[in-house]
C-alpha cells in the first residue's frame, strides 16, 4: 500500500488504516526529518443505506502517536443545513453520535466538519446517505363517493436515488384500527431496479394499473363501496427493517326517505354519511343549489352523519368541508312529482275519505237497524209471556 518516489523524496501510502498513524522519519545522510501522521476514520451505520424515520449512527475515530486532541465536530446535511447530533459517547479516541430521523429529502452527500486548534486540524469529510421511502405525506386522506372510481398511489424514491439493491414490500387494508388486516398485494424490486407486483386478495374488487410512473405502487377501485373505506398501509422491508405509509380512504353516501319523487306539500329526509374518521376541523354541509340560506344546514365538527328535512324539490348537495376547503361533494337530485300524480294522490285521498265516510254511515245505519230489531224482538217476547199468563188464569177458574 506504499511507494517511495525518490525523485521527490516522497512516501505515498494508499488505503490508510488507523494503525498507519504515527511518526514517520526521513533520513538522508546525516539529515533527519520527522512527520507526524494523524488519521481520522468516519463510519456510518448500515453502510449509508436507510429507510425513512431511521436514525443513523455516526462514529468518528482518531489515532495519533502523540496525545489525542479534543475535536469539534459540525455536521451539514444534503441540503447544507446544519445538523446537531446527539452525542452518545465521547472519548478522545472515539465519538459516537446519533443523527436526526431521516426523511427521503435527506438523501445525498453529507459533510462532517472536523476542527482542532492543537494540533491544527481542519478537515471536511463527505459521506453518502441514501434514504429509501415514500414521498407521500404522513397519513394522507383520500376522499371518494359511492360508485365512483378512485386510485390510491404510493410514490417511492428508489429511482430518484438510484437504489438498485433488493427490497420487498406489501400493501395491506383494514376498515378499522382494530379490524383484521387483508393483504392486497406484495411487491419486490428486480435486478434492473423495476418494481414487480403480485395481487394477493380476491375479496376486494381492485385492479393494478399497468401504466404508472416509475417506482409507484397503485391500486384502482373501479366502483367504490361504502365498506371499501378504511386504512390502506403500504410497507417496505429492507434487511429486516421496515417503513410504512398510510392512506385513509373516506367514502361518502347519500340516501332519501321516502325514496322517489317529492309530492307537493310532502316532506323528505335526506341523509349524508361519511365513513370517517375526519380531521378535527372537518364537518358536513347540506345545501340546495341556487337556494337560500334557509336551505343550508351544517353538522358539528367531526360528525360523520347529517340529516335534513326538505319540502322543496331540486338539486341538493352534501359537502365535506375541511379547513374551509370542499374536499368532496355528493349531488342528489330530488324530483318533483308530476301534476297528474298529485291529482291522483289528491283524488285517492278524497276517494279514501269518502269511502271511509260511507263505511261509517253504513255502520251507523246497520247499528240503528240492529238496535230496532232487538227492541222489537224484546217486545214480542214480553207479549207472548203476558198472553201465556192470562191463559193460565182462565183455566184455574
The more confident residue out of 331 and 359 is 331
Q: How many domains does the chain have?
A: 3
Among the three residues 222, 251, 280, which one is the final residue of a domain in this structure? 251
SS3 257: strand
Q: Is 123 among the domain residues?
A: yes
171 and 239 in a single domain? The answer is: yes
Q: Looking at per-residue confidence, does 209 or 353 come out higher?
A: 209
How much of the chain exceeds pLDDT 90, in percent? 51
**Is residue 108 scored above 80 in pLDDT?**
yes
Same domain, 167 and 107: no
Residue 41 lies in a domain: yes
Say whether both 166 and 208 belong to one domain: yes
What is the arithmetic mean of pLDDT over 130-151?
A: 93
Q: Is the full-model pTM beyond 0.85? A: no
Cell of 397: 177458574
If asked whether residues 195 and 242 sit together in one domain, one would say yes
pLDDT of residue 345: 47
The answer to whether residue 89 is domain-embedded is: yes
Q: Average of pLDDT values for 192-208?
A: 84
Q: Is residue 153 part of a domain?
A: yes
- Among 6-10, 215-219, 367-371, where is mean pLDDT lowest? 367-371
In 45-139 the beta strands, taken as DSSP E runs, fall at 49-51, 57-63, 72-76, 82-83, 86-90, 94-98, 108-116, 121-132
* Structure-model confidence comparison of residues 28 and 145, the more confident one: 145
Q: Give the domain extent around 111.
A: 23-132
Supply φ then ψ for residue 69, to 5 degrees: -80, 165
Question: What's the CATH code of the domain at 288?
Answer: 2.60.40.10
Same domain for 185 and 281? no
Question: What per-residue confidence (pLDDT) applies to 397?
Answer: 46
Write the DSSP assignment of 150-192 as a string of letters: EEEEEEB-TTTTT--S--EEEEEEESSTTSPPEEEEEEEE-TT
Does 108 lie in the same domain as 35? Answer: yes
Q: What is the pLDDT of residues 4-37, one digit of tens each?
A: 888 878 889 988 999 999 998 988 888 888 888 9
Q: Looking at the structure, do residues 226 and 165 belong to the same domain, yes or no?
A: yes
Q: Where does a domain end: 251, 281, 315?
A: 251
Q: What is the pLDDT of residue 29?
A: 84
Say if CB 132 and CB 158 are below 8 A apart: yes
Angle at 111 (CA atoms; ends 106, 114), nearest 5 degrees: 145
State how far the Cα of 193 lies from the Cα of 221, in Å rounded to an integer: 27
DSSP tag of 77: -
Integer Cα distance of 145 and 226 in angstroms: 8
| 197/276 same-domain check | no
The last residue of a domain, from among 228, 251, 274:
251
Domain check: are 166 and 237 in the same one?
A: yes
Query: Residue 152's closest CA among 177, 173, 179, 133?
Result: 173
Number of neighbouring beta carbons within 10 Å of residue 324: 6
**Average pLDDT of every residue of the chain:** 87
For the segment 32-52, what is each residue's pLDDT rounded down to a tens digit? 888 889 999 999 999 999 999
What letter would DSSP give residue 207?
A: B
Does the pLDDT value for residue 214 go beyond 90? no
Are 46 and 112 found together in one domain? Answer: yes
- Same domain (yes/no): 37, 59: yes
191 and 246 share a domain? yes
Amino acid at each position: 500500500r506504499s511507494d517511495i518516489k525518490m525523485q521527490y523524496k516522497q512516501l505515498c501510502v494508499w488505503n490508510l488504516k488507523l494503525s498507519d498513524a504515527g511518526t514517520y522519519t526521513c533520513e538522508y545522510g546525516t539529515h533527519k526529518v520527522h512527520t507526524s501522521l494523524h488519521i481520522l476514520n468516519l463510519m456510518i451505520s448500515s453502510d449509508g443505506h436507510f429507510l425513512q424515520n431511521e436514525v443513523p449512527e455516526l462514529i468518528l475515530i482518531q489515532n495519533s502517536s502523540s496525545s489525542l486532541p479534543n475535536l469539534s465536530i459540525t455536521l451539514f446535511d444534503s441540503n447544507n443545513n446544519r445538523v446537531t447530533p446527539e452525542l452518545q459517547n465521547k472519548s478522545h479516541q472515539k465519538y459516537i453520535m446519533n443523527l436526526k430521523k431521516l426523511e427521503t429529502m435527506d438523501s445525498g452527500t453529507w459533510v462532517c466538519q472536523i476542527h482542532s486548534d492543537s494540533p491544527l486540524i481542519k478537515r471536511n469529510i463527505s459521506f453518502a446517505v441514501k434514504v429509501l421511502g415514500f414521498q407521500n405525506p404522513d397519513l394522507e386522506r383520500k376522499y371518494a363517493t359511492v360508485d365512483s372510481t378512485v386510485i390510491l398511489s404510493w410514490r417511492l424514491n428508489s429511482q430518484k436515488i438510484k437504489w438498485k439493491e433488493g427490497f420487498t414490500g406489501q400493501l395491506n387494508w383494514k376498515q378499522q384500527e382494530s379490524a383484521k388486516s387483508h393483504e392486497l398485494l406484495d411487491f419486490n424490486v428486480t435486478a434492473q431496479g423495476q418494481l414487480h407486483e403480485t395481487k394477493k386478495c380476491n375479496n376486494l374488487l381492485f385492479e393494478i394499473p399497468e401504466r404508472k410512473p416509475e417506482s409507484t405502487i397503485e391500486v384502482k377501485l373501479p366502483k367504490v363501496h361504502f365498506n371499501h373505506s378504511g386504512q390502506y398501509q403500504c410497507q417496505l422491508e429492507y434487511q429486516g427493517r421496515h417503513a410504512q405509509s398510510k392512506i385513509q380512504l373516506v367514502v361518502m353516501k347519500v340516501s332519501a326517505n321516502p325514496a322517489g319523487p317529492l309530492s307537493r306539500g310532502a316532506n323528505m329526509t335526506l341523509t349524508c354519511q361519511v365513513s370517517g374518521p375526519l380531521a378535527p376541523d372537518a364537518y358536513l354541509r347540506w345545501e340546495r343549489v341556487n337556494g337560500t340560506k334557509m336551505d343550508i344546514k351544517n353538522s358539528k365538527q367531526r360528525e360523520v352523519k347529517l340529516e335534513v328535512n326538505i319540502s322543496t324539490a331540486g338539486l341538493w348537495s352534501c359537502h365535506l368541508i375541511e379547513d374551509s376547503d370542499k374536499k368532496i361533494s355528493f349531488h342528489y337530485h330530488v324530483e318533483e312529482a308530476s301534476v297528474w300524480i298529485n291529482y291522483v294522490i289528491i283524488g285517492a285521498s278524497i276517494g279514501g275519505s269518502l269511502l271511509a265516510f260511507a263505511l261509517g254511515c253504513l255502520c251507523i245505519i246497520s247499528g240503528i237497524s240492529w238496535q230496532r230489531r232487538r227492541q222489537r224482538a224484546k217486545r214480542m217476547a214480553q207479549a207472548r209471556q203476558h198472553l201465556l199468563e192470562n191463559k193460565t188464569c182462565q183455566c184455574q177458574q
